[in-house]
Chain A
Amino acid sequence: MTTILLSYNEVQSLARKAASGAGLPHGVAEEIGHAAVWLSARGVDAIRVVVDALGDEAQGRQAVLRGQAAIDALCCGETEQGLPEDQAYSLLLIGLAGAAAMDTGLNLTVQQGNGDVAPLARVSDVGGLLLTMKTLRVMPDDAAPACSGSPRPTPTDAAAYAAALSLAARTYVPASDLSRAQGAGAGTTDND
């Protein structure tokens, strides 16, 4: 597998643009960008996760919107636990929850099948969580230090990168003659 080493800023902006290209509202696409950063700091190829989740667009969009709503409800205390049933989107939704935990300071946790809980703020490798995850819930604050993740993002699969670029490109507009005529550097000699 060929991989590409992105910066966090690249991971975030590409995930956000790909989500926009897949038809998600801007504010939700921004959350996808934050989720991608959180995931890629914890051993996950987040661009692959975004592309996989949004590849089937209508279903993926609805799953993301339902998941974001569930996380919002958790964060504001309207519900005590929750996560959509569809496991195909679980990794991206854990990313959204992880980013929300970092943002809010809430002790959002993954509750596992055996009853154990894993605070998202302390997770350093997301992969293992998926197999045993039962639900998300907010637990009382604990004073344990948060894990800031790896200094550089997990490498990105080149095919997923290309697919994300393709989704992002749906938001681009071909340059017009007028825009070329008015852009920086236009209309003057640059040999002055």
Chain B
Amino acid sequence: MTSRALDITTGPALALRSPDVVMRLQRMGASFPTRLSFLRSLIRRLAASGTTVRRSLWSMDDAGFGDAVYTLTLGGHDYSLVAFSCPLPDDQRSDRVIAEAWDTSYVLYDGIPDATEIDRLRANAPRQEAGRFGPCDLVLSRANKSVRFFEHVADSLAHGRQPDRQRLGEVGYLLRTTAVYGNGKFGIADRFVLAEREGLAGPFQAEMLTVWLIREFSHDLVEHVARRRAPKTFVPLAPDLRRHIGVGNSTGLGMAPFLANHPVLLNNWVLARETALARVRAKPYPDAAALNRLADLWRQAALHLDQWSVEDGALMARLLLLRREWTEAEGWIDPARLLATSFPVASLLDRSQSLSIDFQELLAALIIEMAGAENDDLADGMAAAREGGPETGMRVSALRGLLRDHYGWAMAIAFDAPAETAQFWYVSEEKLEPRLGRRATEPGADLELPLDIARQVQQLAADLADTPDGQTVAAFLARFPQHRHVVRRIQTTAAAPYAEIRDNLLSDRCLPIDMLRCKLAFFGASKFDPRSDRWTRITLFQGAPTAGEITAGETDDCWLPVLP
């Protein structure tokens, strides 16, 4: 069998954090974006390739309804965002996945669409899941306006004013996506089409490119509406404000099982991040420039935290604590003192263990940021091919050994306690999306999704108990085919230490928002704004270069945006 986990030569000196620490839901739910996040990788690739964005079609009426096409060339291929803007009554504007109409819809097209192709997409893209797409369509998305803020910006620009900075800081986007579909959904191109393409081979790069172009479209759209409203007094968005307007996103349970269903991919993401952290930790004497940069980033993070407020009481309490801890710990990072300390980064990380998990994870992200480009090579290994089948020639004794070495966390869960099976995951008939139910009060537990990894491990262990050591996995699975999935997972995990979320996803303590934040942080999201323990709003590309600025590369605001 081929191992598909990321193979990183870490060297003997690198001390990676234990999966027992890193892969806990609470810590995953404290994730911050890093330099290895996917939108950051995209920005660097766009900058390195000297990308220019051409707006080849702009056919909009005075109210901003019509079609637009943006095209760029990356790695020798043309890609076009085909955008449609339509009138939408307020009572149909919903972030729910069950919505059937949106303010705007998009397709990332492989090439440059002609009029016939634009007509085809106009007939399908606004219908989203109800439409049908083909091999030239790479990504499908839609977004609704942040209506009041969009109107505020349009009105301000029309009257010769810039938008209110505080409102801009509070909202941060004009459009909010509610889905960004890739990899063959609804007939669009399969991911393997992009896997060999220079520039879009990494995870979610086509989706990130789509969102970056949607952001550009949102800036142009609001300026268009304002200009048509009052051409004589109109002013364009100031560059610093334009840069601070990202794209919003609403994400719910549909994304949560992804991490459990793609263990090798999850491993590769986390292993890259942890390797980057361990490399910096292992430096005995970082130079003065690096330590000065650490201090600068510390202050930037403090400003970011001050500008990040949420309605969610639980997260706001955590943010208040984090702000206080961050301020109190500022003395730790005096460059002169750190210069005189051996292994200063290791020392900082060790000291942080006495503070909150939020503090620890923000510090980890900051340290990766401090190191700059020296870890960018790790981004190249974050994609994964499909996960293989079980290694059928393995002996049962070896399988038992893997289970013992890597699944102690699963064997320790007491499933006879009702709280440990209080929830169940299922696919909703309504929109074919994953959902989470209460076992005691909701129907459907007999159809639950196999996200009960720890319970499956225990059931496997029970059936392995009476199986001879020398029996092959093939013979075992012939008797117990119900264990095929978990056997494959266990075999995979031996080479992928960060593959498993080391918590019980059925427990009443399982909060899906933790999985969402982990995944979204790898995307590069900031300003997490939970609306319950099951869905959140976020902002993407806030502070990142616009199309006009992309050749200059990343800004520090790409990491944690700060309103200037």
Contact = CB atoms under 8 A, between A and B. Distances in A.
A184 B252 contact: yes
Nearest to B485: A27
Contacts of B178: 184-185
Given A72-B477, A78-B475, A172-B428, A183 B184 contact: no
Query: Chain B contact residues (Cβ within 8 angstroms of A): what range?
Result: 35 or more
A172 B425 CA distance: 11
A183 to B, nearest CB: 5
A30 B485 contact: yes
A27 B474 contact: no
Given A7-B188, A105-B2, A186 B485 contact: no
A95 B438 CA distance: 39
Nearest to A77: B393
Contact of A173 (B184, B437, B474, B532): B437
Interface in A65-111: 65, 68-69, 72-73, 75-78, 99-100, 103-105
Interface string B472-503: 11110110011111111000000000000000
Contacts of B472: 76, 78
B432 A183 contact: no
A176 B432 CA distance: 13
B243 interface: no
B19 interface: no
Nearest to A66: B478
Contacts of A69: 474, 477-478, 481
Given A31-B389, A185-B95, A152 B429 contact: no
A99 B386 CA distance: 12
A132 interface: no
A179 B437 CA distance: 7
Given A34-B389, A75-B474, A190 B481 contact: no
Interface in B51-82: none
A147 interface: no
A122 to B, nearest CB: 19
Given A9-B190, A185-B97, A25 B475 contact: no
Given A173-B437, A174-B429, A5 B134 contact: yes
27 contacts: A5-B187, A10-B186, A27-B488, A31-B484, A68-B477, A69-B481, A72-B473, A75-B392, A78-B472, A103-B388, A104-B1, A151-B135, A169-B429, A171-B447, A175-B429, A175-B435, A176-B443, A178-B438, A179-B436, A182-B534, A184-B178, A184-B254, A185-B178, A186-B531, A188-B531, A190-B95, A191-B147
Given A173-B426, A178-B442, 12 more contacts: A25-B484, A26-B485, A31-B484, A34-B386, A68-B481, A69-B481, A76-B393, A100-B389, A104-B2, A152-B135, A172-B427, A183-B98
